[in-house]
Amino acid sequence: MNRYNQIIIGLLLPLLVLLQACTRPNTSITEQPAAVEQTRQLSEQQIDTGCSYSEFIKGTRAEYFQRFEQALHHYQQALRCDPTADYIKDKLPLLQLKMGNLDQATVLLKQKLKTDPQNTYLRLLLARIFIQQQDRVSAIAQLTKVLEHEPDHEQALLRTGVLYSQRGSIDRALPFFKRLIEINEQNYFAHLYLARIFDRKHSPETAAVHYTNALELNWSTDLVLESAEFFLRQKNYPAAERIVRNGLEEHDADDDRLQISLAQILLAAGKEKDALEHLKQIQVTDGEPSKIDLILCRLYVKNNRSSEAETCLKSILENGDNAEARYLLALLYLDRDDSENALKLLANISPDQKEFEDAIILRSRILQQTNQTKPARTMLEAYTQSERTRKPIFYVLRATFARDDQDDREAEAVLRDGLKRYPDNEKLTFELGLQLERVGKLEEAIVLMQQLIKKNPLHAEALNFVGYSWADTDRNLEQALTYIVKAMELKPNNGYIQDSLGWVHFKLGNLDRARQELQEALILVPEDPHIHDHLGDVLLAMGDKDQALKAYQTAFDLFEEGEKKERVKEKISDLKERSNETPHTDS
């Protein structure tokens, strides 16, 4: 742009902005007398259009160069000069969003929406903020309002469907994606999510159609792998092979993930000769024979071909040390209950190898299963004393073994020591909270868990712990519900969290909802005695004594601990006495 044009634009731009400010919709025609008078007073006393424009131009320039603090200062100055300048007010929420001030952006957007409730752009922006904050419920509420007056808004339909899917509510998500397809058959994301939903709903034929459509609309390696995995689960090997070969031939012949996926499909289809030949071709290109050999070993392991996997892994180890081969071979030995040889292999994985931490975890598991608590505690104590071998998870394992030996004092001391060394480690913090609750220090445990939530508001287990603890002790019930609902959104298919949701609804007196949540929790975790016990309490409160008795009896049969078993036994006895029946439980 030449200097003359720059000067002309510089002269015209102020005029355009001023015209924009002066030609807003005819508010003077529709304003109430009081509003007219207020505007007149502002005009006389406060409005300085020139000052406002000058500060606005400075703000837009600063924003263009991403000097957001400076831009905010100029916009605020502009509003002081002209408090009626809506075109400046409209800029503030997005600017706050750019600055990362989500809470302030939310306040501003809500204020604007009060005066302009059908502003789709602002509602979508507010929904976007709630999504960033992982507040799916509030995001869905905003999107629903958009759809109330624009029922075919594709972006709102898509985001709502995605949010319901993320919450695990696939039946509620389904209509939104179906509507998207009706509006636009070429909507890639609608086909993708419908494929996943119908896969989960065990409708493979419909899922296959949508996967195929999605691939035609927007090919990607990740989608090819996802689609191939889907067809593998259906044992539709020809379709899986066709998709991957097409990707290699028409899109990316050198993609390692596609090459390995094809070998896996061939192996799963029983075409071992073809799989080996294919891997040899990769090996020539790759130039690392041991790497390709290990890939083949992994494929044998994944396809439960343990004999071939063992031969393959031993062959690698004969040609030199390989920590991953040792680890995989140890897993094979463990599957056949050969714990002795598994431990020998794991013991030879050194601290400088990346498999070391996993190897120690697996060694601990084997020692626990074979009742070798003392050697396990000695091993883990030695590793936590050395800077070279110390890992946060080793403190957690030490505490686990201490608990197994009924040494709660040692378990707590070990976790506190670990937390001193790793003060920001969430796993140690959470485990210490559980240990404190176990020994009756519930209040200290809740404080610790709340500290964890403050550091990580998306820690589902900590949210559930605090929410359930409050509900179980009949306090902060509304806040407890908020915490548990948040935890459910983060982990929608967790039966233990759903049990907490049922329990807090019981405490709030929402008996129908409590029963529903607990029954759904039992679908996910059918053998948990606590959930059966909770369901018994709810059913009894609803007056269904027969079903309550059945729930208590199931809990009694499943409980192993003496104290909890006795407590449920007392409930059964009391219930039978009230029904004029002779108490009878198997002891």
pLDDT value at residue 17: 38
Q: Mean pLDDT across the stretch 480-502? A: 93
Return mean pLDDT, the chain. Answer: 86
* Encoded tokens for 350: 């050194």
Determine which of 36-45, 104-113, 220-229, 482-491 has the lowest per-residue pLDDT on average.
36-45
pLDDT value at residue 83: 87
Query: Is the Cβ–Cβ distance between 462 and 493 less than 8 Å?
Result: no
Q: Which domains does the chain have, with CATH numbers?
A: 290-371 (1.25.40.10), 372-456 (1.25.40.10)
Q: Which H or E run contains 168?
A: none
pLDDT value at residue 367: 93
CA distances from 505 to 380, 420, 472 (A): 42, 38, 11
Dist. CA 461–CA 458, nearest whole Å: 9
Confidence of residue 29 (pLDDT cuts 50, 70, 90): very low
pLDDT value at residue 286: 55
Dist. CA 494–CA 127, nearest whole Å: 26
On the 0-12 / 13-18 / 19+ scale of CB atoms within 10 A, 187 is buried
Any residues with CB less than 8 A from the CB of 515 and at least 6 apart, and which?
502, 535, 538, 539, 542
Tell me the whole-structure pTM to 2 decimals: 0.63
Distance between the two ends of the chain, CA-based, in angstroms?
92
Could you write out the DSSP letters of every residue in 410-441? HHHHHHHHHHHHSTT-HHHHHHHHHHHHHTT-
* Encoded tokens for 141: 């509420």
Dist. CA 451–CA 429, nearest whole Å: 9
Q: Mean pLDDT across the stretch 297-326? A: 87
Kindly tell me if the per-residue pLDDT of 23 is higher than 50.
Answer: no
pLDDT value at residue 213: 95
Any residues with CB less than 8 A from the CB of 540 and at least 6 apart, and which?
548, 575
Closest CA relative to residue 494, chosen from 55, 502, 323, 140: 502
Dist. CA 382–CA 376, nearest whole Å: 10
Q: pLDDT above 90 covers what percent of the chain?
A: 57
Closest CA relative to residue 256, chosen from 244, 268, 267, 266: 244
Kindly tell me if the per-residue pLDDT of 280 is higher than 80.
Answer: no
User: Between helices 477-490 and 460-472, what is the axis angle to 10°?
Assistant: 150
The pLDDT tens digits for 449-476 are 999 999 999 899 999 999 999 999 999 9
Confidence of residue 490 (pLDDT cuts 50, 70, 90): confident
Confidence of residue 376 (pLDDT cuts 50, 70, 90): very high
CA angle 44, 45, 47 (to 5 degrees): 80
pLDDT value at residue 8: 35
pLDDT value at residue 45: 52
* Encoded tokens for 579: 């029904």
Any residues with CB less than 8 A from the CB of 427 and at least 6 apart, and which?
392, 393, 396
User: Between helices 204-217 and 221-233, what is the axis angle to 10°?
Assistant: 160
Kindly tell me if the per-residue pLDDT of 511 is higher than 90.
Answer: yes
Dist. CA 492–CA 486, nearest whole Å: 10
